[in-house]
Amino acid sequence: MTKHEIPADLEHYLTLAVDCARQAGALLEQGYEKEKRVEHKSSAVDWVTEYDRASEELIVGRLTAAYPGHGIVGEEGSRRESQDGHAWYIDPLDGTSNYAHNFPVFSVSIALYKDDVPLVGVVFDPLRDELFTAVQGWGAFLTRAGTKQRLQVSHVASLTAGLIATGFPYDSHTSQHNNITELGAFLRRAQGIRRAGSAALDMAYVAAGRLDGYWEFKLRAWDMAAARLIVEEAGGVLTQPDGQPIQMQEILAVVANNGRIHGEMLEVLAQAAAQRGAQD
């Protein structure tokens, strides 16, 4: 191995994850404009389709066949304890509501962690054939139309010039902590805000410099496991809203950006939290 070659084990993990993401993406693309069976999970706005489940089954089957000792954490219920500290985090269809409505923003997200440290991250947008990948210590890349380019976060230095994105929790109809206060605060500070509906793609877009920042509450580990590494390897920053490092726990709050506007984003979130607390 030369200094310019990814270690063989990481290369194999990456190749497997990419193959799984592309196969799952092809399955999702085939079903995209077909009629779908939609079921509710935790709430009336938390949806799952037969394609979510079929995608996860495909991915889990391939990962299990290759690494039966690795753990599995999948959005649609796949769980297996790790025998060696390795764990795969799988979101087989990030953007289910979009997919069910034939709104063309969704992705497949696959990540491998070892003892809660990210090793490999893959986010695939099948409709645009855009593949975002990262390997710890080896950078982040976008592959599309047969070309591969290194990702780099934007150079925007002020939130007032920043285009940022967010999302809303499944309990937004009933919870006071529904991101509405934070949205209002950012609307008064940022150049623009987008809400596209795929957390993994939002963070991948931060890595690509298409967005300057992103925040969201009540995410699950599979929502951000892959994109986290892609952002970090592209030179970005990703923390909790209080600035503390991300912990791979069941429910997460995330702030991701180019690093230059991180302080301003944390300041806005702290002010919004104080405002919401005063209203409670």
Domain ranges of the chain: 8-150, 159-279
pLDDT (0 to 100) of residue 1: 41
The span from the CA of 2 to the CA of 4, in Å, is: 5
On whether the 8-150 domain is CATH 3.30.540.10, my answer is yes
- Summarize the confidence of residues 96-119 as an average pLDDT: 96
pLDDT tier at 248, thresholds 50, 70, 90: confident
The span from the CA of 95 to the CA of 50, in Å, is: 14
pLDDT (0 to 100) of residue 184: 96
pLDDT (0 to 100) of residue 41: 62
Higher pLDDT, 25 or 79: 25
Among residues 144, 148, 149, the alpha carbon closest in space to that of 128 is found at 144
Q: Virtual CA dihedral for 16, 9, 220, 277, nearest 10 degrees? A: -150
The span from the CA of 239 to the CA of 122, in Å, is: 19
H, E, C per residue of 159-183:
HHHCEEEECCCCCCCCCCCCCHHHH
Residue written as tokens 């779908």? Answer: 36
What per-residue string of b and e applies to 40-77 under the rule 16 or more CB within 10 Å gives b? eeeeeeebbbebbbbbbbbbbebbeeebeebbbbbbbe
Higher pLDDT, 126 or 42: 126
State the fold for domain 159-279: D-Maltodextrin-Binding Protein; domain 2 (3.40.190)
Higher pLDDT, 134 or 3: 134
- Summarize the confidence of residues 84-107 as an average pLDDT: 96
What share of the chain has pLDDT > 90, as a percent? 80
Indicate the range of 7-11, 201-205, 250-254 predicted with least confidence: 250-254
The span from the CA of 220 to the CA of 52, in Å, is: 16
The span from the CA of 251 to the CA of 170, in Å, is: 12
